[in-house]
Amino acid sequence: MTMVSIYLSYAKPFRNRLRGFLTVATVAMVFVLLGLLGAVYQVFHPSAGSSGADILAVTSRYSTQSPLPVALHDTIAKVPGVRNVYYQSGYLAVYQQPTNQLILAAVSLPTDALQGLSLSNDQQINFTRTRDGILVGEQLAEHNGWKVGQQIPLRITGFVNKEGGDSELFEILGIYHGLTADRAKFDNIALVRWDYLNESRAVRSDAVGLFKVRLETGASPDAVSQAIDRATANSDHPTRTQTAQALLLSLFRQMGDLSGAIRMVVIASIFTLVLVTATSLTHAVRRRSVEHATLRAIGYTRSTIARMVIYESVGQVATGVVVGALLIAGLCRCLHASHVSNFPVPVVNLGTFAVVACGTLALAALAGSFGAAQAARLNMASALKQAQ
């Protein structure tokens, strides 16, 4: 009888093919929405384990968008506990068409921006010797069909050179990819030399976006941060120093309460999933009252009937989740292959898989409990009379 019950539980959802298909499709679409929200959150929110806890970022006290004079380099370098100081500026550049935009990072020499990237020693040395050289991420190069040695013109937003134009010509010296998950976010970024752009620009020269400070071994990040800010407090450009992770988090918060919005959408999606599944199943149980009464007549108990309904709910939701997982995996890979900036490739994680599996079972049981309660309370005599 147990095997028959299991067979009936998982055969029932698709007896009415249209209802079963719509329920599974709804669950799948909800799961796709949740997967895309998770991917977007992963793209914009820095992970807790990402690099940057031992690196300080020095920006303007007034705004992260306000430039700082490059002369602050020597002031910061003299602070006790500072081992190295690098600086860089970020630009938005356009290649050929206005819609084909890319991030251009102008870095100082020497720089730590090349660490963790698949660049050979020769390519790094060549970058230090070639003033108009550019290093491009692998996804960026594939998207634009770039090759090493190619000359590419870029229009740089907010940049004006001494000829009055906004375009610069660069020679591709290397194509890289990140060697770690954290550095893989650089695969859609191009790196150029800050000094080359600085000498070319007509206005706002000798200004940088931020300084990056690498600490001496054993140095306290808090103590060094306070010392840097005290050293610049009475200057025309007071600074705000924090860890690189803290800077990323502050930039994330400036986008608004994105995490709160995502949580609200997730709650609404889960509520929709439970409501749709419960409504569909309750309607199906009502239509099958005669069948359930017949099962009761041949010896099935109320609890057995209720479990069968819950198994049916689990079958529908699990099928929808599997379909949704396949769809989100394919969609993420398509977006990644289409070079959507920093979009992650889905990776199977056992911890995430366990959480999703347990959550799926819990939601399925919750959605099925309404129909199960209705089936368990069924009056067998009344239901059988309806069949006559």
* Rounded distance between C-alpha atoms, residue 316 and residue 313, angstroms: 5
3-state secondary structure 359-387: HHHHHHHHHHHHHHHHHHCCCHHHHHHHC
Strand bridging mode 167-176 / 133-137: parallel
Tell me what pLDDT residue 11 has: 52
Convert the pLDDT of each residue in 27-48 to its tens digit: 888 878 877 777 666 665 555 4
The phi, psi pair for 80, rounded to 5°, reads -60, 135
Q: The tokens of 20 are what?
A: 């079963």
Paired tokens of 346: 């889905």
Residue with the two structure tokens 């990323």: 248
* Predicted confidence (pLDDT) per residue in 192-215, tens digit: 999 999 998 887 788 999 999 999
94 sits in which H/E element: strand 82-94
pLDDT value at residue 86? 93
At 277, the amino acid letter reads T
Paired tokens of 57: 């970022």
pTM above 0.85, yes or no: no
Read off the tokens for 120. Answer: 């050979």
Q: Which residue has the tokens 């095997």?
A: 3
Per-domain residue ranges of the chain: 2-47+257-386, 62-237
Residues of the chain with pLDDT under 50: 1-5, 7, 9-10, 48-50, 339-342, 348, 387
Query: What percentage of the chain's residues is helix, strand, coil (to nearest 5)?
Result: 55, 20, 30
What confidence score (pLDDT) does residue 272 get? 77
For tokens 């970058």, the residue is 127
- Classified as helix, coil or strand, 70 is coil
- Residue 70 and residue 87 in contact, taking contact as beta carbons nearer than 8 Å: yes
